[in-house]
Structure 1
Amino acid sequence: MTVSENETQDTLPTFAELGLSKKVLSAVEDAGYTTPTPIQAGAIPHALERKDVLGIAQTGTGKTASFTLPMLTLLEKGRARARMPRTLILEPTRELAAQVEENFEKYGKNHRRLNVALLIGGVSFDEQEKKLERGADVLIATPGRLLDHFERGKLLLTGVEILVIDEADRMLDMGFIPDIERICKLIPFTRQTLFFSATMPPEIQRLTEQFLQAPVKVEVSKASSTSATIEQKIVAVGKKDYDQRAKLRELIDAEGDDLKNAIIFCNRKVEVSTLFRSLIKHGYDAGALHGDMDQRARMATLEAFRNGKLRLLVASDVAARGLDIPDVSHVFNFDIPRQAEDYVHRIGRTGRAGRLGKSFTLVSKSDEKYLDSVIKLIEKDVEWVGGDLSSLDDEGADDRKGGRGRSSGRRRNSRSSDKVSTVSDKGPKAASLDDTEQKAKGEPAVSTDVEKTEQTTTEEKPTRNRSRTKKNGDAVSKPEPAKSRNQTNNGRGRKKDDLGDAPRGFGDEVPAFMMNGLA
């Protein structure tokens, strides 16, 4: 069975008509909600009937409540036993897992005996084991930490009644599918499975066919759609990193007071760290969020951003989905995402709940194919700011290619100019690093290398002479590195047209007694 968006939007019921318990309805009303979203209206009734559900919906559609609310209703009967959770929710990242826990706290406030356990990395195993020993009605976990506890013998999955797999396509991107398959095999076959994904690539389709039993498919809004409340802009930038950082600062300053807060997305965590340090250096109120951070630091950064203590949040794609920050005024794509769908998820952090938002995407000439994919996906023309890619200055393009046919003077000049620009952006540390590299390239180090190479070459010389004589007496064309680097060393250097090793001791002839046994 498939429930489409149009079918649910025509006659959306109220929460009271979905079959939720009085305790849950009271908590929902206290949170200020009266009408469910399409994914909630489509999924909740079937989840309450203990049917498997396949939900396809992008971020910001109320997907989390579509499994949180029916689970709270179903869990009102029965109690959990030690180390045997009744329900299991799998999330790809620690942030998403923590936000699901917050949803259970908000909507489960009338469930006094409800025990919720969170198993994520960056938190002490001992604290988590104590929660498992008390018994968990709801276990929220990332796949890796869940399997860690299972392998330690601290967790049994034979009592799981409901399994929720959230953000399945992100699980695929992060390489968790083998772990998901293993976990599914550890849980009773009679379980109920609620499966949610923003997209349905072939690998995810195969997973649903393997582990879901006659699921009800609820598909709401295509992943290619972007909200009409978001004003999207594209900005052409040069290839150099410092060009991009300067342009980003220019855009932030130009927005002025209209920029209440912003999420700045990078493709890699190393770029998150670099951009974060650059913004701090230039006096911007910024924080960073990526997968390698300690859990407490991550949660503290998110809390500071939510509370308005941080104006800018630099993040990798692990934060692109599920961030529960309703009022984000701007999104900046410092790097255009490599997957077009991620563009939709990223800019979906702004313009929520009817608010207006803005997104800016920085694009260089090497990003054209990714930009084309985004435009094709969203089926919408996006306005350029300050001219498109054809307006970029091509001056210095040859220097970026780094060809070997240039004069050494030109190469030195181009390197010097690049270095000045980089130092101005990276600060004193970068300058000291450049000084260190210059010292490493100084003459004393080269002389030491030459002496070591000459010593090794002298010891190996007789063996190489024998090999050449044994073959055909021809000289080997490969020049000796030590001598080419020290041609003026006591007149022992060889001429450029000399393709062989210069013999020592015996001149051009090798004595006959050294040839014995070589024939």
Structure 2
Amino acid sequence: MSFAELGLSDELLKTVEAAGYTDPTPIQKQAIPSVLMMRDLIGIAQTGTGKTASFVLPMIDILSEGRSRARMPRSLILEPTRELAAQVAENFEKYGKNHKLSMALLIGGVQMGDQVKALEKGVDVLIATPGRLMDLFERGKILLTGCNLLVIDEADRMLDMGFIPDIEHICTKLPANRQTLLFSATMPPPIKKLADKFLSNPKTIEVARPASTNSNITQRLVTAPSSAFAKRDLLRRLLHAEDVRTAIIFCNRKTTVRELNKSLKKHGFRSAEIHGDMDQSSRIAELDRFKAGDVNILVASDVAARGLDIKGVSHVFNFDAPWHPDDYVHRIGRTGRAGATGTAYTLVTSADAEAIENIEKLQGQKIERVGEVPVEEPGDSAPAEKKGGARKPRAEKPAPAAEAPREEKPRPASSRDDRSREDRRLREDRTNEKRADRRDERPARRDRRFEGQDDGPDGKDDGGWNGPIPDFLNFTIPA
């Protein structure tokens, strides 16, 4: 089946063909005709299946007739994150360039004034995150009574982020006689309840088992030490051993993202970072650098785990095993997209046993365990590493750097000697700080009544009397 058989307009088909697409994906084949028929729809699909185009393309044709009114958007797309909202906006710009449709993007981290101006002109498509939409709605800057098409995207992610009450409130402000499309990778009970409440006789499309992973992705578990130094060293060896063209490395905490990115850049890798503490412009700038190839490694928290469609990602590395099994599915789904193959490594410590068990239970399959990580010899331009990596015995290493003069250039931080020295320095610094704190807390021994008076000739308190001269000593020796 081709796109021409789905009922799309000739103008839209030309745009799709110009974008290089000829055959629709399974979810597009099933969803597009139903959306064009104005049916409510539940789409359950794993990430990377072309879900976004399955609602963007028919929406463009549906909205091509009619006109917008000030502050009354004709359609609304709800996305859980700013990045996903921006990505959907890019899809509308790409596929709707032959249509005169107006669009507004309501996301946090962007000046509200410009968004209000766009709404006042009237928009056909409003793409928003729930928080910013609720903010503008409560300020009276937007009316939802004219919105006849609602898309709730990444519904299970909305659930994880606590947006379901907001979505329910938004649905009550929309016309009852509307078309609603709900897309989700999984269908937990709260999402099923939401669909039953706000969708009317929906058609359900499921193109893959919930939370299943792409068969094009090779998954591997690597036993990792609990030490942060050793774990980073293991990741660097993996990056050298694998043919990594572009990779996304996921961490559970924002602080870990920052520390790991700093370490990778220190060792010569072209890396960038993205996490929730960054403002929107900085996050978009880092994503653009990654897409453009200025950097080929992106260290990220789960803010980037879902829905980001970045072509050509060859590897995904879970530096931290994800806390929730669903996050694992969406993390590794950044590779192996659009029919390509990919590889996903997860570094597993002894504390991750339960998390891995839950992931394998969700997938219904065991993940391959790998033993010793092979190490390739880095080239001259690669980061400084020990020749042969961890496979050489300790006896073959040069004398410890501690025997060399301090001014000599230290060996790479990945060696065990440097880690030991760094640990010692950290312990010494902490000990010195504690001693200084104890000194500061000691009560002053000097009598504060005479504070400010001169001490002994050497500038120190000589223990002598420094007070006023008594009267019986105040006399003049006769000549």
Give me the TM-score of the superposition, normalised by structure 2.
0.80
Q: 1:419 to 1:187 in 2, by over 3 A?
A: farther
Structure 1 distance, partners of 2:246, 2:26, is 29
Instruction: Name the amino acid aligned to 2:433.
Output: A
Q: Counterparts in 2 of 1:223-262, with a 5 A limit?
A: 223-255=210-242, 258-262=243-247
Which of 410, 432, 438 matches 1:446? 438
Matched residue, 2:205: 218
Q: Counterparts in 2 of 1:288-367, with a 5 A limit?
A: 288-367=273-352
- Deviation of 1:449 (Å): 4.5
1:121 aligned onto 2:108 = yes
Question: Unaligned 5+ residue runs, structure 2?
Answer: 374-415, 445-479
- Deviation of 1:385 (Å): 2.3
Structure 1 distance, partners of 2:213, 2:351, is 24
- Deviation of 1:85 (Å): 0.5
Conserved in 2, the CA contact under 8 Å of 1:118 and 1:140? yes
1:267 aligned onto 2:232 = no
Structure 2 distance, partners of 1:154, 1:224, is 38
- Deviation of 1:450 (Å): 6.5
Conserved in 1, the CA contact under 8 Å of 2:185 and 2:211? no
Matched residue, 2:474: none
Instruction: Name the amino acid aligned to 2:255.
Output: V
Matched residue, 1:492: none
Question: Unaligned 5+ residue runs, structure 1?
Answer: 1-12, 389-417, 453-519
1:27 aligned onto 2:15 = yes
SS of residue in 2 equivalent to 1:95: helix
1:46 aligned onto 2:48 = no
User: Normalized per residue, which structure has more helix?
Assistant: 1
Which of 122, 138, 145 matches 2:125? 138
- Deviation of 1:80 (Å): 0.6
Matched residue, 1:148: 135
Structure 1 distance, partners of 2:420, 2:328, is 29
Matched residue, 1:103: 91
1:378 aligned onto 2:351 = no
Matched residue, 2:160: 173
Structure 2 distance, partners of 1:17, 1:336, is 43
Q: Deviations over 1:19-62 (max 9, x none)?
A: 21222111111112222111111111111111111111111111
Structure 1 distance, partners of 2:211, 2:83, is 24
- Deviation of 1:68 (Å): 0.4
- Deviation of 1:379 (Å): 3.1
Bigger mean CA deviation after superposition, 152-161 or 353-362: 353-362
SS of residue in 2 equivalent to 1:55: strand
Conserved in 2, the CA contact under 8 Å of 1:235 and 1:362? yes
Which of 64, 80, 88 matches 2:52? 64
Conserved in 1, the CA contact under 8 Å of 2:46 and 2:213? no
Structure 2 distance, partners of 1:353, 1:380, is 23
Which of 74, 81, 89 matches 1:93? 81
- Deviation of 1:229 (Å): 2.4
Conserved in 1, the CA contact under 8 Å of 2:186 and 2:211? no
Bigger mean CA deviation after superposition, 347-356 or 305-314: 347-356
Q: Deviations over 1:338-371 (max 9, x none)?
A: 2222222211211223323211110011111111
1:209 aligned onto 2:196 = yes
- Deviation of 1:182 (Å): 1.2
Structure 2 distance, partners of 1:44, 1:311, is 35
Matched residue, 2:412: none
Matched residue, 2:263: 278
Conserved in 2, the CA contact under 8 Å of 1:263 and 1:314? yes
Q: 1:224 to 1:24 in 2, by over 3 A?
A: same
Structure 2 distance, partners of 1:110, 1:422, is 63
SS of residue in 2 equivalent to 1:89: strand
Instruction: Name the amino acid aligned to 1:381.
Output: K
Identity %: 57
Conserved in 2, the CA contact under 8 Å of 1:223 and 1:341? no
Instruction: Name the amino acid aligned to 1:62.
Output: G
Conserved in 1, the CA contact under 8 Å of 2:46 and 2:212? no
Conserved in 2, the CA contact under 8 Å of 1:336 and 1:367? yes
Matched residue, 2:448: none
Q: Deviations over 1:358-411 (max 9, x none)?
A: 1111001111111112222323333322269xxxxxxxxxxxxxxxxxxxxxxx
Q: 1:176 to 1:41 in 2, by over 3 A?
A: same
1:79 aligned onto 2:67 = yes
Matched residue, 1:410: none
Q: 1:422 to 1:91 in 2, by over 3 A?
A: farther
Structure 2 distance, partners of 1:277, 1:42, is 45
Instruction: Name the amino acid aligned to 1:55.
Output: G
Matched residue, 2:419: 421
Conserved in 2, the CA contact under 8 Å of 1:24 and 1:108? yes
Instruction: Name the amino acid aligned to 1:140.
Output: I
Q: 1:148 to 1:224 in 2, by over 3 A?
A: closer
Which of 133, 157, 161 matches 2:148? 161
Conserved in 1, the CA contact under 8 Å of 2:80 and 2:158? yes
SS of residue in 2 equivalent to 1:264: strand
Conserved in 2, the CA contact under 8 Å of 1:235 and 1:360? yes
Q: 1:281 to 1:424 in 2, by over 3 A?
A: farther
SS of residue in 2 equivalent to 1:231: strand
Structure 2 distance, partners of 1:372, 1:72, is 43
Structure 1 distance, partners of 2:174, 2:127, is 15
Which of 13, 16, 34 matches 2:4? 16
Matched residue, 1:508: none
SS of residue in 2 equivalent to 1:68: helix
Structure 2 distance, partners of 1:138, 1:52, is 18
- Deviation of 1:306 (Å): 1.0
How many equivalent residue pairs?
402
Which of 173, 183, 194 matches 2:181? 194
Matched residue, 2:401: none
Structure 2 distance, partners of 1:188, 1:302, is 37
RMSD (Å), alpha carbons: 2.2
Q: Deviations over 1:122-177 (max 9, x none)?
A: 11111111111111100001111111111222111111110100000001111111
Structure 1 distance, partners of 2:422, 2:137, is 51
Bigger mean CA deviation after superposition, 72-81 or 26-35: 26-35
Structure 2 distance, partners of 1:273, 1:116, is 35
